[in-house]
Structure 1
Amino acid sequence: MLKIILVVIVVLIAIVVIIYIYYGGLSKVEVKEEIQGGEVLVYEEVIGDYAQTGKYTDKVYYKLLNNEGISTTKGFGVFYDNPQQVEKSKLRSEIGCIVEGLNSTQIADLAGKYKVRTYSKVNYVTAEFPFKGHMSIMLGLMKVYSQIDKYIKEHGISDKGAIMEIYDVPNKKIIYRKEIVKE
């Protein structure tokens, strides 16, 4: 009986380790500063728990697909508040999809129906993490955010400002961008 329990425990540990590795647990996180941005965002403003991100990304995705015939491959969230400092019910974010390959007339048409803006092209603290599903997002929260926090402390950068996560499905990565706020 003890042997069976030991085998079950070893198998469960092996499964957890395999899942951890598959979803990016051993991925090295490189944090750097670089100019990024310029994407056209179609989004909804959301107040509440950041765990709702997937629901709102899907909502915008299906509105664009079903109502406009626009297929997108990148979702995003712009998160304005630190969940360790702000009550879950008051967290502010913008959640949606990045639209690509549209001309100014098409963008103006979308702006008449949805919230649309171009994300600022400036210098950000950035990092990337593999995207293989929801578990990658959870691991990214643990691994990437701590590395970004460490980087901004080491380089004297303000911890104020929003952070953006881009869920780049075709390239299988999550891109993190932390605003560099001048104080």
Structure 2
Amino acid sequence: MKVFVFSVLFLGICFTIFLFYMGAFDDVQIKEEIRGPFYVLYHERIGDYRNVGITFETLQKELPEKGIRDYKLFAIYLDNPNEVPKEKLRSEAGAIFFEPLSKVPEGLSIEFKTRTILSKKYLIAEFPLKNFLSIFLGIFKVYPKLFEACEEKGCDLKGKASLEIYEPLIEKRTTYLLPLD
């Protein structure tokens, strides 16, 4: 019986330490900034938002093969998953660059387009990006705070597409942007 109790206690302590590491107990700070322009290479998706990872995997494999290394991953979530069925959710997933691309790199296995997302005012929050689970933890931690800040500013959440920028290698964080304009 003692072994069982100590095992449960040990697992509980390990889980709590893991949650601290993941940022579960971090405060979410919301700020208002103008960001952009963003030069993006993106893939339009319809379906469950969880599947944007397929696009990210493709980019992380194929862009370095083309000699392209200086980019961040992003996704724009166009629909509210509480109002739209999973199979109809619209999103754009891809890569953000510091300079515009002159054309879509040839030979990519899925269809991509390029465009510029103009500068605008956003509500912004950042959350640690330690691993794949960080993305889900960030959704539950950050979005309620972003939506609350948006409502306090009197903005209407209808039709607002959130933008997430993922930087897993150097900055190790996700930046969440909710447009105010």
TM-score of the aligned structures, taking structure 1 as reference length: 0.88
Structure 2 segments unaligned to the other structure (5+ residues): none
| Paired residues for 1:1-183 under 5 Å | 2-66=1-65, 68-100=66-98, 102=99, 107-110=101-104, 114-160=112-158, 161-169=160-168, 170-181=170-181
Query: What is the rounded CA distance, in whole Å, between the counterparts of 1:146 and 1:70 in structure 2?
Result: 35
Of Structure 1 and Structure 2, the greater helix share is in: 1
User: Equivalent residue of 1:109, what SS?
Assistant: coil
Aligned equivalents of 1:69, 1:155: Cα separation in 2: 43
Measure how far apart 1:85 and its partner are. 0.8
In structure 2, distance between residues paired with 1:51 and 1:136: 13
Residues 102-159 of structure 1 show CA distances to partners (whole Å, capped at 9, x for unaligned) of: 4x5xx22227883011122110111111111112111101110010111111221111
Looking at structure 1, the residues matched to 87 and 30 of structure 2 have their Cα atoms a distance apart, in angstroms, of: 30
State the one-letter code of the partner of 1:168.
E
Q: Is the 8 A contact 2:103 2:114 kept in 1?
A: no
Q: How many residues align?
A: 175
Q: CA deviation at 1:30?
A: 0.8
Percent identity reads: 34
Tell me the TM-score normalized by structure 2.
Answer: 0.89
| Structure 1 residue ranges without an equivalent (≥5) | none
Q: Deviations over 1:1-44 (max 9, x none)?
A: x2111111111111211111111112111112210121211110
